[in-house]
Amino acid sequence: MSDLVELPLYDLAHSRAGDKGNRANLSLIPYKPELYPILAEQVTEARVLALFAHRGATRCRRYDLPLLHAFNFVVDDVLEGGVNASLNLDGHGKTQSFRLLAMTVQVPRHLVP
Amino acid sequence: MSDVFLVGNGAGFSGDRVDAPIPVVRTLIQRGLPAALFFEVLGERTVALAQLERRANPEAGYEPMLERLLAPVLADCFHHRIPILGNFGAANPPAAARCIARLALRLGLPNLRIAVVAGDDVMGSIALDQLPVHEADGSIDISSARLIAANAYIGAEPLVAALKAGADVVVAGRTSDPALAIAPLVAHFGWSLDDWQKLAVGAAAGHLLECGSQVTGGVFWDPGRKDIPDPANIGFPIAEVTRDGGLIITKAADTGGLVDLRTIKEQLLYELHDPAHYITPDVVLDISGCHIEQVGKDRVAIHGLKGEPAPESLKVTASFEGSWLGEGEVSVAGPNALARAKATADVLLQRLKLRGLPVRARVDLIGVASVHDSDDGALWRAYEGPEPPDIRIRLAAEGATRDDVDQAAREVLALLCCGTAGTGGARWRVTPRILTRSYLVLRDRVPTSITSRTAQEIAA
In a domain, B252, yes or no: yes
* Residue type (1 letter), A70: A
Mean pLDDT computed over every residue of chain B: 96
Residues B334 and B302 placed together within one structural domain of the fold: no
Q: What is the pLDDT of residue B134?
A: 84
My answer on whether B293 and B327 are in the same domain is no
Segment 83-112 of chain A within 8 Å of chain B by CB: 83-85, 87-90, 94-96, 98-99
Mean pLDDT value of segment B95-100: 98
Q: Distance (Å, rounded) from C-alpha B5 to C-alpha B28?
A: 10
Structural contact between residues A25 and A59, judged by C-beta atoms closer than 8 angstroms? no
Residue range of the domain that includes A68: 4-111
Least confident of A79-93, B268-282, B379-393, B395-409: A79-93
pLDDT digits (tens, 9 = 90+) for B159-209: 999 999 999 999 999 999 999 999 999 999 999 999 999 999 999 999 999
Q: Report pLDDT digits (tens) over B281-296.
A: 999 999 999 999 999 9
Pair B226, B345 in one domain: no
CA distance A94 to B69: 26
Whether B434 has a pLDDT exceeding 50, the answer reads: yes
Provide the pLDDT for residue B140.
63
Smallest CA–CA separation between B104 and chain A, in Å? Answer: 37
Do B188 and B112 sit in the same domain of this protein?
A: yes
* Average pLDDT of the segment spanning B382-390: 95
| pTM (2 d.p.) | 0.96
pLDDT for B1 equals: 42
Q: Do residues B288 and B399 share a domain?
A: no
A8 touches chain B (CB under 8 A): no
Provide the pLDDT for residue B139. 60
Asked if A35 is an interface residue toward chain B (Cβ–Cβ < 8 A), one would say: no
| pLDDT average, residue stretch B421-433 | 96
Let me know whether B287 and B330 are in one domain.
Answer: no
Structural domain for B418, as ranges: 318-438
pLDDT, one tens digit per residue, over B152-171 is 999 999 999 999 999 999 99
Q: So what's the pLDDT on residue B138?
A: 62
- Residue B425's CB: how many other CB atoms inside 10 A? 12
Q: Are residues B263 and B247 in the same domain?
A: yes
Query: How many domains are there within chain B?
Result: 2
| pLDDT digits 0-9 by tens, A73-102 | 999 999 988 888 899 999 999 999 999 999
Structural domain tally of chain A? Answer: 1
| pLDDT score of B2 more than 80 | no
Alpha helices by DSSP H, B286-364: 337-355
For B271, which residue in chain A has the nearest alpha carbon?
A: A18
Cα–Cα distance list, B182 to A14, B115, B282, B303 (Å): 29, 17, 8, 17
CATH number of domain containing B359 = 3.30.70.100
A3 to chain B, closest Cα gap in Å: 25
Q: What is the pLDDT of residues B407-417, one digit of tens each?
A: 999 999 999 99
Instruction: Give domain status of residue B419, yes or no.
Output: yes
**Cβ neighbours of A74 in B, within 8 Å:** 273-274
Assigned domain for B141 exists: no
What is residue B353's predicted lDDT score, i.e. its pLDDT? 98
What is the model's pLDDT at position A101? Answer: 98
B188 min Cα distance to partner chain A (Å): 30
In CATH, what number is assigned to the domain containing residue A107? 3.30.70
Same domain, B239 and B278: yes
Same-domain check for residues B433 and B447: no
Coil, strand or helix: which one is B160? helix
Whether residue B260 lies inside any domain: the answer is yes
Residue B145 in domain: no
